[in-house]
């Protein structure tokens, strides 16, 4: 399969539950936007599947862009050092921006990213995350649109990976460490 096969736990969140929550959040984003355009910034690579599901339910004009940002590398723990691998293609000044993230764990990467994007003077800046793992938090971060709260385990599936594996799982599960 890959460099190393990992043992997976039970299904924690089904594909149906994820899609149902994405629809709810897409509708909330539309309501909150009050008819104004929104720009979704997907954080590569993990947020792609979640962003695709949310965007289907946004009824106001929407544009998308992507960034690649990490504090993990190939590790399962945040290093605390944030690196931007791909920046935005367009300016965000005076735009209603929503950062779309797969999981908020330590909060370090997202906090850095939020501060960096605030300096670019968007009209508004919100966060939409598929998963929130508050037990891993090392810095405070507010999530405006939250999919699900998860326990302090290493999560894979639905875009989330371990060493680039398991992104294609249609559900959320954990990697079992013995």
Strand-pair partners of 42: 66, 100
> Is position 32 annotated as part of the catalytic site?
no
Coil/strand/helix, residue 18 = helix
148 within 8 A of 70, measured Cβ to Cβ: no
The active-site residue out of 5, 65, 89, 105 is 105
- 3-class DSSP string for 95-149: CEEEEEEEEECCCHHHHHHHHHHHCCCCCEEEEEEEEECHHHCCCCCCCCEEEEE
The catalytic residue positions are 105
């Amino acid at each position: 399969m890959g460099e190393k096969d990992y043992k997976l736990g039970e299904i924690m969140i089904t594909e149906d539950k994820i899609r149902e929550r994405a629809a709810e959040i897409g509708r909330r984003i539309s309501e909150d936007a009050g008819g104004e355009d929104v720009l979704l910034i997907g954080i590569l690579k993990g947020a792609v599947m979640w962003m695709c599901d949310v965007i289907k339910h946004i009824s106001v004009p929407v544009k998308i862009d992507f960034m690649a940002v990490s504090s993990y590398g190939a590790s399962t723990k945040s290093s605390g050092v944030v690196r931007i691998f791909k920046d935005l293609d367009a300016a965000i000044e005076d735009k209603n921006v929503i950062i779309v993230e797969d999981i908020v764990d330590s909060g370090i990467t997202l906090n850095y990213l939020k501060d960096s994007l605030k300096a670019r003077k968007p009209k508004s800046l919100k966060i939409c995350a598929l998963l929130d793992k508050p037990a891993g938090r090392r810095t405070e971060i507010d999530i405006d649109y939250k999919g699900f709260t998860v326990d302090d385990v290493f999560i894979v599936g639905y875009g989330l990976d371990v060493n680039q594996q398991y992104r294609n799982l249609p559900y959320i599960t954990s990697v079992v460490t013995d």
